Amino acid sequence: MADPTAPTAPTAPTAPAGSGGDAETPLLEIRGLRMDYPIRHGMFGRHIGTVRAVTGVDLTIRPGETLGLVGESGCGKTTLGRCIVRTLRPTAGTIRYHARDGRVVDLAALGQRELRRYQREVRLVFQDPFSSLNPRMTLLEIIGDPLRNNGLAQGKELERRVGEMLELVGLPPGYMRRYPHAFSGGERQRVNIARALIMRPRLVVADEPVSALDVSVRASILNLLRDLQEELDLTYLFISHDLSVVENICDRVAVMYLGNIVELAGTDALYRGPRHPYTEALLSAVPRADPRLRGSGRRIRLSDDLPDPAAPPPGCAFHTRCHYAKAETCAAPGAGPVLLPPPDPSGRGGTAAGPAATPHLAACHFAGDLSLTGV
């Protein structure tokens, strides 16, 4: 079991990336990513078990897209996001990042010095705009710190760049001498976004960026994220449990269950024609104001709470709650179904979005047979 705070492994081998920015070349390729947390007990912190928070994720992020990551609380979304920005060191797996300098580096294996360089390009926007800003620092310090710490700007130049960034996120540059308590939730989230963008990243992991905000300001922050994406050529991994928001903002969606991706598809394909029973259950709970958009209207209630990630069920991890489970197949000991395109003679699953086709993948033994209801 790896200690997430342990020193990192030596620098990974790197190779020329060829073209780092065209739509055919992925920005990030995650393979076999695992993150285990040790469960400790007692005064001496005896190791008594392991939470398998991420259990072997394969996921590719394309340049310029917004990829949604959804799933119930505790399924491992934040852990996956924090492995990508490398505030956590994964237990196993690779995160191949096609960097701005044309190299392909394995973020999962980089040593601290190399990591600092590439962490500028992959940034995190936190969920909670209240607790994530130090109340004793001015906006100039909060937003400018990464530039100063990396020796990239100081003095007047630092002020100029922070002022520019404040303007970009819709705040007056004159605010830079103020402290976070002077601001509303929406304004603080703009500060959070400015802090993430000051290093001019290419990939932003936005972890529930609007869920702590009043409904009335959510739309303005989502619009800001969309505008910034266009202006700064950003790619987003957008983590959320709000499927309505995800439907509006994401090009593709990955559904996570108990540490792994169980379905991945273009947003429209996934919402209209889910291929995994878990996705169908999540979608059945999405509120629809317009009755014509409510699908069958049948709410699928999941039978039980999320299983304990320290003791995941054998076979398909969803079989303890799945309405379609067949015990002999789905609960068979060993590994469960893997993420694959279901056999589909009608070609119903895939959608074309942009230059690369978007295959519709599902990790269910019966994905090709079930007729599931979307929204």
Q: Is 284 in the site for Mg ion (CB under 5 A)?
A: no
> Under the criterion CB under 6 A, does residue 259 sit at the interface with ligand SF4?
no
Question: Out of 324, 351, 353, 368, which residue is the one contacting ligand SF4 (CB under 6 A)?
Answer: 324
Q: Give Cα 119 distance to the centre of its chain.
A: 16
Residue 209 within binding range of ligand ATP, rule CB under 6 A = no
**Given the complex with ligand SF4, which of 286 and 316 has the nearer CB atom?**
316
Residue 364, interface with ligand SF4 (CB under 6 A)? yes
Whichever of 126 and 175 has its CB closer to ligand ATP, that residue is 126
Site string for Mg ion, 217-256 (x = CB under 5 A): ----------------------------------------
Partner in contact with 76, chosen from Mg ion, ligand SF4, ligand ATP, none, beta carbon below 5 to 8 Å by kind:
ligand ATP
51 near ligand ATP, judged by CB under 6 A: yes
Contact segment (CB under 5 A) with Mg ion among 43-51, 77-85, 104-112, 329-337 equals: 77-85
| Contact window for ligand SF4 (CB under 6 A) among 56-64, 115-123, 196-204, 323-331 | 323-331
Q: Which two tokens stand for residue 34?
A: 């695992």
> Does 241 contact ligand ATP by CB under 6 A?
yes
Q: Figure out which of the listed residues 28, 53, 191, 253 binds ligand ATP, where binding follows CB under 6 A.
A: 53
Choice from 36, 55, 68, 79 touching ligand ATP (CB under 6 A):
79
Q: Quick one: what does residue 64 bind among ligand ATP, ligand SF4, Mg ion, none, with the CB cut-off 5 to 8 Å set by partner type?
A: none
Q: Which does 309 bind (CB under 5 to 8 A by kind): Mg ion, ligand SF4, ligand ATP, none?
A: ligand ATP
Task: Considering only residues 196 through 225, tell me which ones interact with ligand SF4, judged by CB under 6 A.
Answer: none
Three-class DSSP labels, the chain: CCCCCCCCCCCCCCEECCCCCCCCCCCEEEEEEEEEEEEEECCCCEEEEEEEEEEEEEEEECCCCEEEEECCCCCCHHHHHHHHCCCCCCCEEEEEEECCCCEEEECCCCCHHHHHHHHCCEEEECCCCCCCCCCCCCHHHHHHHHHHHCCCCCHHHHHHHHHHHHHHCCCCHHHHHCCHHHCCHHHHHHHHHHHHHCCCCCEEEEECCCCCCCHHHHHHHHHHHHHHHHHHCCEEEEECCCHHHHHHHCCEEEEEECCEEEEEEEHHHHHHCCCCHHHHHHHHCCCCCCHHHCCCCCCCCCCCCCCCCCCCCCECCCCCCCCCCCHHHHCCCCECCCCECCCCCCCCCCEECCCCEECCEECCCCCCCCCCCCC
| Using rule CB under 5 A, residue 78 touches Mg ion | yes
Q: In sequence order, what are the beta bridge partners of 57?
A: 33
Residue nearest Mg ion (C-beta atom):
78
**Residue 37 touches which of Mg ion, ligand ATP, ligand SF4, none (Cβ within 5-8 Å per kind):** ligand ATP
Give yes or no for residue 366 binding ligand SF4 (CB under 6 A).
yes
Residue matched to tokens 């690779």: 94
**Contact residues: ligand SF4, CB under 6 A:** 276-277, 316, 318-319, 322, 324-325, 330, 337, 364-366
